[in-house]
């Protein structure tokens, strides 16, 4: 009996110890393995940002490099959020972009890095943007996306979306974009998130829609009842109503809008219709980036012989692994004695050394910014210099120019780490000024095509397409369900209208 009792007590003790260990592991998120420090680097500073999130400042002597890293352990009580500059895709030229530090402040972030490339001189993000599950801009066919799913999983590539307007005669119109450029025969939906007006030309036709129900912004997976209120034919730059949207079509799509409006005007069908957007894959956050640096532990990009790919540039990138660990990384550059920057191959190798198996490159060059604790933690490469008695901002100092300080460049979007259970507080005001350590009153240059780390030769590298992820079945099921719901609702609406006319 005594032996049995002692055995039982010993077993109970082991169970207790095991339970304590399990609880400790659950309570404190940790990396799947001891987080590696890349060979040749020294940790200059290590800071615990919050539970499961740490910030590292790494330095290397030869070649000189300064790297800032935010590590997120799997299960950490934080989320990644895509933040759009000024919450607006476009606007009157020149578009006033926002700094990463400002976007971080108004979203109450813990850490943030700059996001997507800016599109030419317009300042619009090159790729798509999804935030909080809301589709603000559809992706480009020649640009990759960094996306986060509902369960916190990261993926790089593209994402599938679908949009349609269904009038009461069920002759549906399929969208080709949301708040994005319009191709020949394209049909693009412009929402208030684009800006005050569509900035479109006078070649096509614009159908103005007013939201009826539900109220508020359009959300994927939700069918919205809208009212067609006006057709602006061959009219440029149509205002976007605060409580509605504008459908702009060119070529065949313009003819389809004109035909639809004629049928409404003649009384052949109701002025009301259904508008629906759908996102595949459960994506809640997404912003553009290119190229994909790593896939399944191997380099995954075209090694082009250009300054963007093989030149040492300031870099911003994101990496992750199957265990769910994530790193946000910036590499300073263009300071020969301090940090020279990296080629894309070196950037990919750095992600591997940090424990990532997959990763993507974001906007770099003068855009590269790492914000932590409300302040810019890296040295952006753009500088304020004194030239001919005037203070100007440029990519680097020239011969005989006196550097005043490094300056944070406004960017198209940012990627922020925010608390998962964020307290409902009003957004912080946008920050003024133009510098990280430089003067605060200088004029800020717009997007540029002369910075090879930010916009390589004014064009981005051709997209390397990932192996196709088959969302087809999921999309088909969702589409059939949505179409059935829309058809039944429209049938009810048509019958109700017929009874009213008969009465």
| Residue 87: closest CA among 77, 75, 95 | 95
Give the least confident one: 140-149, 371-380, 451-460.
451-460
pLDDT score, position 470: 34
Tens digits of residue pLDDT in 405-444:
889 999 999 999 999 875 545 555 555 433 343 333 233 4
Rounded CA-CA distance 417/112 in Å is 6
Note whether 167 and 152 are same-domain residues: no
How large is the average pLDDT for residues 255-260?
Answer: 98
Residues 6+ apart with CB under 8 A from 278: 161, 162, 163, 220, 221, 475, 478, 479, 482
Q: Is 222 helix (H, G, I), strand (E, B) or coil?
A: coil
Note whether 264 and 146 are same-domain residues: no
pLDDT score, position 486: 53
Number of domains in the chain: 2
pLDDT score, position 249: 98
Q: Is the pLDDT of residue 387 over 90?
A: no
Q: Is the pLDDT of residue 357 over 60?
A: yes
Structural domain includes residue 295: yes
125 bridge partner residues: 118
Tens digits of residue pLDDT in 6-19:
444 444 444 343 34
Q: What is the CA radius of gyration of the chain?
A: 26
Rounded CA-CA distance 242/263 in Å is 26
How large is the average pLDDT for residues 117-121?
Answer: 82
Note whether 210 and 250 are same-domain residues: yes
Note whether 265 and 233 are same-domain residues: yes
Note whether 422 and 347 are same-domain residues: yes
Structural domain boundaries enclosing 239: 161-279+470-502
Tens digits of residue pLDDT in 465-474:
333 333 333 3
Structural domain includes residue 20: no
Dihedral angle of Cα 409, 414, 420, 424, to the nearest 10 degrees: 70
Note whether 306 and 427 are same-domain residues: yes
Note whether 297 and 396 are same-domain residues: yes
Tens digits of residue pLDDT in 99-112:
999 999 999 999 99
pLDDT score, position 12: 42
pLDDT score, position 396: 76
Structural domain includes residue 392: yes
Q: Is the pLDDT of residue 483 over 60?
A: no
How large is the average pLDDT for residues 29-52?
Answer: 84
Note whether 454 and 497 are same-domain residues: no
Rounded CA-CA distance 318/460 in Å is 18
Note whether 125 and 196 are same-domain residues: no
Rounded CA-CA distance 68/57 in Å is 5
For the chain, the helix, strand and coil percentages under 3-state DSSP, each to the nearest 5: 20, 35, 45
Note whether 323 and 336 are same-domain residues: yes
Q: Is the pTM of this model over 0.95?
A: no
Structural domain includes residue 60: yes
Dihedral angle of Cα 355, 359, 363, 365, to the nearest 10 degrees: 40
| Residue 315: closest CA among 299, 301, 337, 331 | 331
Note whether 295 and 401 are same-domain residues: yes
Given a contact cutoff of 8 angstroms between Cβ atoms, the answer to whether 56 and 71 are in contact is yes
Q: Is the pLDDT of residue 208 over 60?
A: yes
| Residue 420: closest CA among 151, 70, 87 | 151
How large is the average pLDDT for residues 147-166?
Answer: 95
Measured from the Cβ of residue 471, the count of other Cβ atoms closer than 10 Å reads: 15
DSSP structural state of residue 115: -
Q: What ranges in 86-180 are assigned the alpha helix state H?
A: 100-106
């Amino acid at each position: 009996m005594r032996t049995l009792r002692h055995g039982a007590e010993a077993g109970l003790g082991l169970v207790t110890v095991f339970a304590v260990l399990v609880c400790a592991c659950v309570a404190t998120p940790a990396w799947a393995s001891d987080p590696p420090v890349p060979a040749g680097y020294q940790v200059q500073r290590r800071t615990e940002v919050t539970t499961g999130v740490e910030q590292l400042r790494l330095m290397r002597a030869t070649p000189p490099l300064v790297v800032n890293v935010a590590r997120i352990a799997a299960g950490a009580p934080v989320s990644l959020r895509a933040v759009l500059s000024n919450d607006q895709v476009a606007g009157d030229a020149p578009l006033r972009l926002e700094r990463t530090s400002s976007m971080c402040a108004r979203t109450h972030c813990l850490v943030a890095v700059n996001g997507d490339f800016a599109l030419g001189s317009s300042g619009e993000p090159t790729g798509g943007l999804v935030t909080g599950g809301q589709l603000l801009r559809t992706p480009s066919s020649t640009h990759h996306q960094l996306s986060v799913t509902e369960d916190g999983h990261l993926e790089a590539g593209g994402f599938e979306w679908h949009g349609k307007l269904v009038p009461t005669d069920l002759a549906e119109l399929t969208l080709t974009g949301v708040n994005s450029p319009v191709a020949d025969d394209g049909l693009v939906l412009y929402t208030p998130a684009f800006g005050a007006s569509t900035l479109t030309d006078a070649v096509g036709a614009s159908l103005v829609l007013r939201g009826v129900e539900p109220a508020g912004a359009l959300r994927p997976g939700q069918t919205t009842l809208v009212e067609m209120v006006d057709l602006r034919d061959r009219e440029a730059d149509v205002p976007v109503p605060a409580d509605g949207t504008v459908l702009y079509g060119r070529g065949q799509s313009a003819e389809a809008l004109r035909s639809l409006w004629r049928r409404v005007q003649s009384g052949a069908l109701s002025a009301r219709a259904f508008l629906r957007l759908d996102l595949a894959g459960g994506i809640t956050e997404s912003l553009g980036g290119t190229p994909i640096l790593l896939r399944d532990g191997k380099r995954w990009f075209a090694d082009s012989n250009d300054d963007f790919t093989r030149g040492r540039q300031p870099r911003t990138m994101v990496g992750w692994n199957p265990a769910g660990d994530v790193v946000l990384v910036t590499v300073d550059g263009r300071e020969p004695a301090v940090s020279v920057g990296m080629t894309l191959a070196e950037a990919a190798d750095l992600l591997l050394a940090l424990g990532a198996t997959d990763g993507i490159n974001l906007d770099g060059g003068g855009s590269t910014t790492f914000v932590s604790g409300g302040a810019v933690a890296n040295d952006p490469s753009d500088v304020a210099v004194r030239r001919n008695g005037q203070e100007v901002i440029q990519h680097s100092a020239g011969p005989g120019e006196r550097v005043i300080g490094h300056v944070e460049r406004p960017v198209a979007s940012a990627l922020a780490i925010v608390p998962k259970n964020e307290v409902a507080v009003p957004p912080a005001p946008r920050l003024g000024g133009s510098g990280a350590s430089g003067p605060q009153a200088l004029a800020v240059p717009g997007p540029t095509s002369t910075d090879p780390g930010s916009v390589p030769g004014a064009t981005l590298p051709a997209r390397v397409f990932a192996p196709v992820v088959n969302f087809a079945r999921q999309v088909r099921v969702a589409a059939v369900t949505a179409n059935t719901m829309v058809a039944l609702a429209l049938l009810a609406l048509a019958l109700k209208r017929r009874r009213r006319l008969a009465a």
